[in-house]
Amino acid sequence: MLALGQDPKINYVRKTEEFWIDDASFDRSFEGESIIDRKREQVWFDPELIGFCGEIVPLVKIGPCYDGKPKRLYDIQSIQKIMGEGKIPDAVVEWITDLRLSRGWVAYSWKKKRFIDVFKDYKVPVFHAESEGDGTKIVINPCLKTLEFFRKYPAFEAWQKLSHYVGNVLLEESKPVWPIPDKVTAQSHGFDKYSFRKDKQKSE
C-alpha cells in the first residue's frame, strides 16, 4: 500500500499482474561486439521499456555479462562501459535516445501510443514491457529494483514521482464524472429563470 503526503485517506494498493498484447511489438535483438583488454565478445541487446508515471522509458537488457547475470541499462554511457572499445550498434542508440526502431518489420509494429494507453486503461503508475514469444508481455506494478531502475532515477526521486502521480493524476482520473444539469450550466453562464421572460410593460 502506498500512503501519500499528509492525507492518510489517499492510498494505492499495489497489485502485480501480467497480460500480453499482440498488436504492438518490438521483438528484436541487436548484436554487437565488446572489446575489453583486447578481448572480443559477442553482446546481445534486447529492447524493453518501462512505463513510469506517464513517461515511456526505453532500456536494453544485456547479458549474461562478465558476472554471469543480465543487466538492464538506461543510458548510452553505461552501455559503452559494457562495450569497452567496441562500438554500440546504431539500433541501440536509436532506441535509447529516440525510442525508435527503424529497421525491419518491427519498425512498423512498434506503437508507442499502445503502451501509453496502458496507464489510462489499467489505472497504474508503473509497468514493464518485454518481448515474449510472438507478442509483448506487460507486467503491471513490477519490482523496480529487479529492473535496476535506480540506474534511471534514484530511489528518493522515483518515490517523489510515484507519490505525485498516484496522488494527483490517478486520483483525478478515478473521480466519477457526474452529468451537469442544464439549470446549473445556464446559471454558470449568467442566465437565470428571468433571462428569457418577456417584460410585459415593454411589450404593451
- Say whether pLDDT at 110 is over 70: no
Confidence bin at 105 (pLDDT 50/70/90): very low
**Tens digit of each residue's pLDDT (9 = 90 or more) over 139-198:** 999 999 999 999 999 999 999 999 889 888 887 655 544 455 555 455 555 655 555 555
Q: Is 45 a member of any domain?
A: yes
The structure's pTM equals 0.76
Would 204 be classed as within a structural domain? no
Is residue 9 scored above 50 in pLDDT?
Answer: yes
Domain that holds residue 39: 14-174
| pLDDT band at residue 7 under the 50/70/90 scheme | low
Q: Is the pLDDT of residue 8 over 70?
A: no
d(CA 100, CA 26): 10
Long-range interactions of 152-156: CB distance < 8 A, separation 24+: 152/50, 152/52, 152/57, 152/59, 152/74, 152/75, 153/52
Query: Is residue 190, in this structure, part of any structural domain at all?
Result: no
Total tally of structural domains belonging to the chain: 1
Helix axes 90-98, 76-83, angle to 10 degrees: 160
pLDDT of amino acid 189: 55
**Long-range own/partner contacts, residues 87-93 (CB < 8 A, 24 or more apart):** 87/32, 87/33, 88/32, 89/30, 89/31, 89/32, 89/45, 91/30, 92/30, 92/32, 92/45, 92/47, 92/60
pLDDT for residue 86: 92
- Model confidence at 6, pLDDT cuts 50, 70, 90, reads very low
> Residue 187 domain-assigned?
no
In this predicted structure, the answer to whether residue 109 has a pLDDT above a threshold of 60 is no
* pLDDT at residue 194 in the model: 56
Per the domain annotation, does 158 fall within a domain? yes
With respect to residue 52, please indicate whether it lies within any of the assigned structural domains. Answer: yes
The answer to the question of residue 89 being in a domain is yes
> Distance between CA 126 and CA 82 in Å, rounded?
27
pLDDT of residue 73: 96
Q: Among the ranges 97-111, 127-141, 159-173, which has the highest mean pLDDT value?
A: 127-141
pLDDT tens for residues 34-92? 888 888 888 889 999 999 999 999 999 997 666 667 899 999 999 999 899 999 999 89
**Domain-located, residue 199:** no
